[in-house]
Amino acid sequence: DTGVSQDPRHKITKRGQNVTFRCDPISEHNRLYWYRQTLGQGPEFLTYFQNEAQLEKSRLLSDRFSAERPKGSFSTLEIQRTEQGDSAMYLCASSPRVGLNTEAFFGQGTRLTVV
Amino acid sequence: DQQVKQNSPSLSVQEGRISILNCDYTNSMFDYFLWYKKYPAEGPTFLISISSIKDKNEDGRFTVFLNKSAKHLSLHIVPSQPGDSAVYFCAASVYGGATNKLIFGTGTLLAVQP
């Protein structure tokens, strides 16, 4: 399978714990995005990487959230001191080119439940 | 501020008939529009897109129409099939920005009845 891969698919954690999600984009895609989707809403942009550089962060991304993309390959999204409001589907997407409009390809998401 | 709006939360059509899903946007800087389809517990899957230099794009049973003056786009599915039942998201982006990030609507749940 050469699509966008996310791990884990589901995560249940207690409030206050830290969690980390991983995204493996489609090979050679230099653009990588993280989105968050809550019930009844569309995906909301969180952050964007072009290769290893994090070029934009949404105001939704509080200081408890951090994302990395070392070497411009896979990416991780960490949430520290989780809160119940962090419960959502976290989606990763990648797209192949810089400077051209192309569709973003999404992974299957990580469903986070904070109890 | 909801820049991309899908005002119909749900739509039900009979198999074989046309499904029309609508989307409105407010940001005149948007110049690339996409439709995604999403099944429960899965990520969105790209369906079809249109650039602002066009007013129509077709791909098999799917056609997207763009009316820039009205800031409105629609997705037509003809003929509708039960497998088309899913949530459909409209999305928009701004070319020339640093990111080409997508701004999504809230989705329309399409149910195609056999």
Confidence band, pLDDT 50/70/90 cuts, at residue A49: very high
Q: Is the pLDDT of residue A1 over 60?
A: no
List chain B residues with CB under 8 Å of A4: 43
Q: What is the pLDDT of residue B14?
A: 98
- Provide, as residue numbers in chain A, all residues whose Cβ is less than 8 Å from the Cβ of B45: 106
pLDDT of residue B2: 81
Distance CA B59, CA A53 (A): 35
Query: Is the pLDDT assigned to residue A101 strictly greater than 80?
Result: no
pLDDT above 90 coverage of chain A, percent: 77
pLDDT(A96) > 90: no
Residue B45 above 60 pLDDT? yes
The average confidence (pLDDT) of chain A is: 92
The answer to whether residue A49 neighbours chain B at the CB level (below 8 Å) is no
3-class DSSP state for residue A89? Answer: strand
The secondary element (H helix, E strand) that includes residue A79 is strand A75-79
Q: What is the CA radius of gyration of chain B?
A: 14
User: What pLDDT is recorded for position B41?
Assistant: 82
Closest CA to A8 of A112, A88, A114, A115: A112
Q: What is the pLDDT of residues B59-90, one digit of tens each?
A: 999 999 999 999 999 999 999 999 999 999 99
CA separation for the pair B42, A10 (Å, rounded): 12
Contact call for A103 and B49, based on CB within 8 A: yes
pLDDT of residue A79: 97
d(CA B36, CA B104): 9
Q: What is the pLDDT of residue B96?
A: 61
Name B69's Cβ contacts closer than 8 Å, sequence gap at least 6: none
* Averaged pLDDT, A49-71: 92
What average pLDDT is seen over chain B?
94
Which residue from B minimizes the CA distance to A50?
B99
What is the model's pLDDT at position A103?
A: 84
Cα R_g (chain A), whole angstroms: 13
Least confident of A30-44, A83-97, A100-114, B25-39: A100-114
Give the angle A93-A94-A97 at the CA atoms, nearest 5°.
150
Question: By the CB < 8 Å criterion, does B89 face chain A?
Answer: yes
Please tell me the predicted confidence (pLDDT) of residue B99: 76
**A84: three-class secondary structure by DSSP:** helix
Query: What pLDDT is recorded for position A99?
Result: 58
